[in-house]
Amino acid sequence: MRNMVLLAYLIPVGARCLVPDRCAAQAPLRLAEALERAEQDAFANRIAAGESAASEGEALRPLKGILPSVRLESGYQRTTDPLGAFGFTLRQREVTPAAFAPASLNDPAAIGNLGTGLVLEQPLFNADAWLGRRAANRQRDAARAAERWTRTATAVDVVRGYWGTVLATEQVRALEQSLEAARSHHRQAESLAHQGMATSSDALLASVKAGEIEALLASARSQARLAKRGLALLMGAPGDTGFVMPDSLPSPDRLRSVMSRAMASPAGARADVEAADHALAAASADASRASALYLPRLNSFGRLDWNAPGAPFGGKSSWTVGVMLSWSPFSGASELSEHRVATGRQAAARAMAESATAQATLDLARAHDGLEVAAARLDIAEGAVGQAREAHRIVSRKYDGGLATVAELLDAATAETAAHLGVVAARYEAIMATTEILRAEGSALSLLGDLED
């Protein structure tokens, strides 16, 4: 049982599985699949979709002042009030000469009336409603663009988490190989010390170095586990970590090909800039709406009424139509307040739109520089690996011949490990630099699919 636990601990996290046969048959999670899962289930995307849906609903609210409304009314009353009783008799068309008798007028018997009405109201001119509708539509467009930008940001996070998990797996594998080499050096130093060809301090130094690498390996394994859980969280399923990751990052040649294509891709429209522009349009329309509150309103209505002692829609119907003009040039300074609030929001929205455009320009320049730096680092790191490997080989032979100290041997081994980790990190940085330039350009991230076989 102890051996099984030890074996499970030594297996790289990205390829760990409870049932090895199933692991061998399970295909690694592809980036496109991770992005698709996040597109549907990521928490940030679902929040943005809900806010966008709410904005869609808000865009319908101003229609109350534009479209007609139909209302059904019904109510029952019973009274002995002289005026009310005679009115009910009159509405029910039951007036007779006897109803004008003074005794009946002064002291009427209780009478009940069930009134039923069908009311149609049609706004004719409400300038604030039309301008409010325009503002609401622009705000809806801003919410849609903001949702798209949120989905783009989520996709970038998924790319970072996906390849970050693969990076952590490669780092674990590199440290495992380094630990094996350190232990080999330790055994070699002990053997030479027993033969009198080296001092005991050589073996002690090799043991210390192996311990340092073992501590780094434990930390790397922890980071790999957390990276996988973080990716699951980004995909909206924090409890689902049963997927298998690829064994390694894309090759430098494949990276260079995708990087050059990303550098040459034309810039598109960024959703965050579109959202800011739509928000400015919405604020401008809302400022116009606030100014239109000083204008008069013109509305029409029509209704059909039925009055009967107890049956809905009973008796003979009557109709009423009318037009109403209302104007409130001053309502306790409420219009002035709304106008000032809307004007302030318009000024803030204009500054935000200008800021979004300037930020997009800066992001694009930074992304281009970042991609160039990442390409240079990749070239340097790739060359350093071969140099460090050759240096380690030379020092190892010199140590075998007694021409190098164990410190020099361990330093060479450490340099080779650092070079391996450096080229892995450089490949990851190249991926993220490519991702950032696509986001800064407003381009789709589909080009990143070419990083996979």
Supply φ then ψ for residue 250, to 5 degrees: -60, 155
Neighbour-count burial of 229, counting CB atoms closer than 10 A to its CB (0-12 exposed, 13-18 middle, 19+ buried): middle
Enumerate domains of the chain plus CATH numbers.
Answer: 2-62+130-284+334-451 (1.20.1600.10), 67-125+296-326 (2.20.200.10)
pTM score: 0.80
Residue from 386, 401, 387, 416 nearest 188 by CA: 401
Q: What is the spatial distance between Cα 444 and Cα 451, in angstroms, rounded to a whole number? A: 14
Q: How far is CA 165 from CA 144, 177, 287, 427, in A?
A: 31, 19, 49, 13
Alpha helices by DSSP H, listed for 126-270, are 127-194, 200-234, 252-264
CB-based contact 121:297 (threshold 8 Å): no
Q: Which residues have CB under 8 Å from 67's CB, separation 6+?
A: 123
Residue-by-residue pLDDT tens, the chain, 453 positions? 333 322 332 333 333 444 444 444 578 999 999 999 999 999 999 999 999 999 999 999 999 999 999 999 999 999 999 999 999 999 989 898 888 888 888 999 999 999 999 999 999 999 999 999 999 999 999 999 999 999 999 999 999 999 999 999 988 988 888 888 878 877 877 777 777 666 677 778 778 888 888 898 899 899 999 999 999 999 999 988 889 999 899 999 999 999 999 888 777 789 999 999 999 999 999 999 999 988 899 999 999 999 999 888 888 899 999 999 998 877 777 888 888 999 999 999 999 999 999 999 999 999 999 999 999 999 999 899 889 889 888 988 887 777 877 778 788 888 888 898 899 999 999 999 999 999 999 988 888 989 887
Q: Which residues have CB under 8 Å from 71's CB, separation 6+?
A: 118, 119, 120, 121
